[in-house]
Amino acid sequence: MPTNESLQQTRQWLDGLHAVHGYDGVVHEVSTVLNENANYSAANHRYRKQLADTATMLLSLYDATGQEKLLDAARDIRRLIEWADSGLMPVQLELFAMPESDWVSP
């Protein structure tokens, strides 16, 4: 949801466009922004699908070979997709957790 500040900035931007270029200029600029947003959304969808396909391939390789690192990589890719969907930033240690054998006990 937009904040009051972002709405005010948008209003000022549109008022400035209208003052300089008129109504047609505002329509042209808004159309350009919407087109760029649609292109970004389509590219984002393609990247996420490619990541999901890669995770699926890694799981198939894990099933065929039993290599634990493939399973870990598939889980990490799925977590990246989840973090991207939620808008949260991953903590590096959550993404690249050390194996239990590497932990030093106190």
Q: Which residues of 31-41 are buried (b: 16+ CB within 10 A; e: fewer)?
A: eeeeeeeeeee
* Lookup result for tokens 């930033």: 89
Rg (CA), the chain: 23
The pLDDT value recorded for residue 38 is: 94
For residue 58, the one-letter residue type is: L
Question: Taking the mean position of all CA atoms in its chain, how far away is CA 55?
Answer: 16
Q: What pTM did the predictor assign?
A: 0.60
Residue 16 scores a pLDDT above 60 = yes
Residues 20-57 pLDDT 10s? 999 999 999 999 999 999 999 899 889 889 999 999 99
The residue extents of the domains of the chain are 9-86
